[in-house]
């Protein structure tokens, strides 16, 4: 990966994003397991970011490719790092506060939030298709969480709130990553995100760090390694394909989350999830389809 200009390769982007979805679901499972054994949220973020810096830096140094980390866009990396750190807090927080399947399902509202961000930040005009998708997505959230008939076991309003901020940040970061991918390579994007956020997490670490047994440390190490791989896969997928299309692959994470929830945490997904999740996924599919139609229209009109 030696160039800095993004080259559209849709099939490669979809395959990479499919692997990213598996890695993210696995990371979520490891985060939750480590959390049940006493690991603090800030601890998990610190070790995840530090391991990424060390592994990526060492790998590039050993292969003589440290020059790939050069950048003239440090302020853009800093903005992405700030958003990413904020997003990690809520993403990990959702996994710790909610059952794995519910936290994963709420994450699927990212395309819905992407539409709302496009309206507010980019003054984009939204038609009935995407407005309908927004309504469908939030109807699915209500159906999954059932806030008016009593939240089901393991679900709290605080957890739901945290779980909805997380996909909002994912959507916002997707726009930032697409912008960075026009001039930066994935190694640089991932490295600077981790390098700029590790010191911030380190400042808070003395207040929360605790001793752990070998199993917990193994879980933390595994979480860091899988998280680093997921971050690289996510960034690479956005290099080769548009966010509107490749986000479709993220929905496969629900299968892995359900599998982990049942086999590791001994909790089957509630019936309401299988009723509401299709609505949320359908909203994402509708948004992706409409984005593709609009992109084709702009190409044909010469814009």
Q: Can you give the pLDDT at residue 187? A: 87
Distance CA 10, CA 15 (A): 9
Q: Can you give the pLDDT at residue 206? A: 93
**Which residues of the chain fall short of a pLDDT of 70?**
1-8, 147-152, 242-245, 247, 298-303
Taking only the tens place, the pLDDT of each residue in 102-143 is: 999 999 898 889 888 888 887 778 888 888 988 999 899 888
Tokens of 189: 């994007």
Distance CA 173, CA 57 (A): 23
Q: Can you give the pLDDT at residue 47? A: 93
Q: Can you give the pLDDT at residue 8? A: 67
Please check whether residue 183 is in contact with residue 73, taking contact to mean a CB–CB distance below 8 angstroms.
yes
Tokens of 19: 């692997």
The count of other CB atoms within 10 Å of the CB of residue 131 is: 12
Q: Can you give the pLDDT at residue 122? A: 77
Please check whether residue 21 is in contact with residue 256, taking contact to mean a CB–CB distance below 8 angstroms.
yes
Q: 3-state DSSP call for residue 269?
A: coil
Distance CA 173, CA 270 (A): 30
Distance CA 56, CA 187 (A): 8
């Amino acid at each position: 990966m030696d160039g800095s200009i993004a080259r559209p390769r849709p099939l490669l982007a979809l395959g990479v994003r499919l692997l990213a979805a598996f890695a993210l679901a696995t990371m979520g499972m490891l985060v939750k397991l480590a959390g049940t054994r006493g690991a603090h949220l800030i601890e998990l973020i610190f070790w995840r970011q530090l391991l990424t810096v060390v592994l990526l830096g060492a790998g590039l140094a050993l292969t003589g490719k440290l020059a790939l980390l050069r950048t003239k866009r440090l302020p853009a990396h800093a903005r992405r790092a700030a958003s990413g750190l904020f997003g990690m807090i809520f993403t990990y927080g959702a996994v710790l506060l909610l059952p794995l399947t519910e936290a994963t399902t709420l994450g699927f509202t990212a395309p819905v939030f992407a539409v709302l961000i496009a309206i507010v930040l980019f003054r984009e005009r939204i038609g009935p298709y995407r407005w309908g998708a927004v309504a469908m997505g939030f109807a699915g959230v209500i159906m999954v969480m059932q806030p008016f008939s009593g939240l089901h076991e393991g679900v709290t309003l605080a957890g739901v709130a945290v779980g909805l901020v997380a996909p909002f940040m994912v959507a916002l970061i997707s726009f930032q990553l697409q912008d960075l991918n026009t001039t930066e390579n994935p190694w640089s994007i991932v490295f600077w995100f981790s390098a700029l956020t590790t010191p911030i997490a380190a400042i808070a670490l003395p207040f929360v760090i605790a001793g752990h047994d070998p199993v917990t440390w193994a879980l933390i190490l595994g979480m860091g390694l899988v998280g680093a791989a997921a971050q690289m896969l996510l960034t690479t997928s956005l290099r080769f394909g548009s966010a509107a299309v490749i986000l479709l692959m993220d929905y496969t994470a629900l299968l892995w989350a359900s599998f982990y929830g049942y086999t590791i945490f001994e909790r089957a997904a509630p019936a309401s999830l299988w009723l509401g999740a299709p609505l949320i996924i359908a909203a994402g599919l509708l948004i992706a389809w409409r984005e593709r139609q609009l992109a084709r229209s702009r190409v044909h009109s010469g814009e």
